[in-house]
Amino acid sequence: MPQIIVLPHPQLCPEGTVIDAPEGKSLCEALVESDVEIEHACEMSCACTTCHVVVREGFNSLNESTEDEEDLLDAAWGLEATSRLSCQARLGKQDITIEIPKYTINHARENH
């Protein structure tokens, strides 16, 4: 079972964490089920960028992104070459390390 290593995030995961999750599970589902309250304003339907993560290690073990995901990522705050929407990124066989960006673009939320 692959592990998701979450780097420290000031609000969501101050100490960082390690999550065991089955192959094929989305990163967003695994995070939420492990009490890392990453935003997912569109309820994981690939319609926003609030669940954006940057994959620091293991990027190539994830499923390929779709054109819809790529189009949405273009609007994400802090976009990097290894950015993914965690609702669309599904775990492969390898461990991965992710960073949750400090900010999101969520117009429905009071505090960014």
Query: If phi over 0 gives left and psi between -120 and 50 gives alpha, with beta otherwise, what is residue 26?
Result: beta
Do strands 83-85 and 52-57 pair parallel, antiparallel, or not at all (unpaired)? antiparallel
Task: Write the pLDDT tens digit of every residue in 102-112.
Answer: 877 664 444 44
Task: Determine the structural domain holding residue 56 and report its residue range.
Answer: 3-99
Residue 6, SS3 per DSSP: strand
Question: What one-letter code names the amino acid at 61?
Answer: S
How many domains are contained in the chain? 1
Amino acid 71 reads: D
Close Cβ partners of 110 (under 8 Å, ≥ 6 residues apart): none
Is the model's pTM score more than 0.85?
yes
pLDDT of the chain, 112 residues: tens digit per residue: 999 999 999 999 999 999 999 999 999 999 999 999 999 999 999 999 999 999 999 999 999 999 999 999 998 988 999 999 999 999 999 999 999 998 776 644 444 4
Q: Kindly report the backbone phi and psi dihedral angles of residue 26, in degrees, each rounded to the nearest multiple of 5, phi listed first.
A: -75, 150
In a domain, 108, yes or no: no
Amino acid at 55: V
CATH number where 18 lies:
3.10.20.30
